[in-house]
Amino acid sequence: MEDILLAHEKAELEQDIEATMATVSPNPHYEFPNFGWAADGTGAVREHYRRVLPNTGKYDIAAEKRVHASASNTLIREAWVSFTLEGERYTGMYLVVISFDADLKLISGERLYTDSNFAKVMGEDLGDDYGDVPGVSRIDASAPIIDKHDAFAEAAARGITITAPTAN
């Protein structure tokens, strides 16, 4: 996973869309919760990179990881990210959960969370018409409705009772 991520980041920093896409599986699923968007398939993900990658130089983006964790086929990276916007240098944060296809040894998905500073940059890059891109949809269109917090079952399995106040 580390090698795949490094190849992916190298391609991103070199603003090479084809090399970036070469690190992505044939059926990727990306999510951008700050904006409510999901991008499914290589066409939508390629368009995402087409909009975002050319601006890494414009913004002079630099990142430094704070937390780096991995599990089976998943890698999490939280980082400070600095960038220049309207002539001023800012620092924000992002957290990305990256999933990998173990057989293909490629990135199968990303879920990118950003703070409000970095969201400004990304929002400008995505543009007002991002939702019109084939394969891009609202996350809430496919997200499940959760009826009961999973902590109740987890607590019960450990012999703990959670007594929630009733709604008024």
pTM, entire model: 0.89
Structure tokens at 58: 């414009």
Q: Which amino acid is at 139?
A: I
Structure tokens at 2: 């580390």
CATH of 2-143, one of 3.30.460.10, 1.10.10.10, 3.50.50.60, 3.10.450.50: 3.10.450.50
Q: Of 162 and 59, which is predicted with more confidence?
A: 162
Distance CA 134, CA 42 (A): 10
Assign 50 to helix, strand or coil.
helix
What residue has token string 């009733």?
166
pLDDT for the residue 86: 85
Q: Which amino acid is at 25?
A: S
What residue has token string 């007002």?
128
The model's pLDDT over 77-131, given as tens digits with 9 standing for 90+, comes to: 999 999 998 899 999 999 999 999 999 999 999 999 999 989 988 998 999 999 9
Q: Where are the domains of the chain?
A: 2-143
**Maximum alpha-carbon separation in the chain:** 57
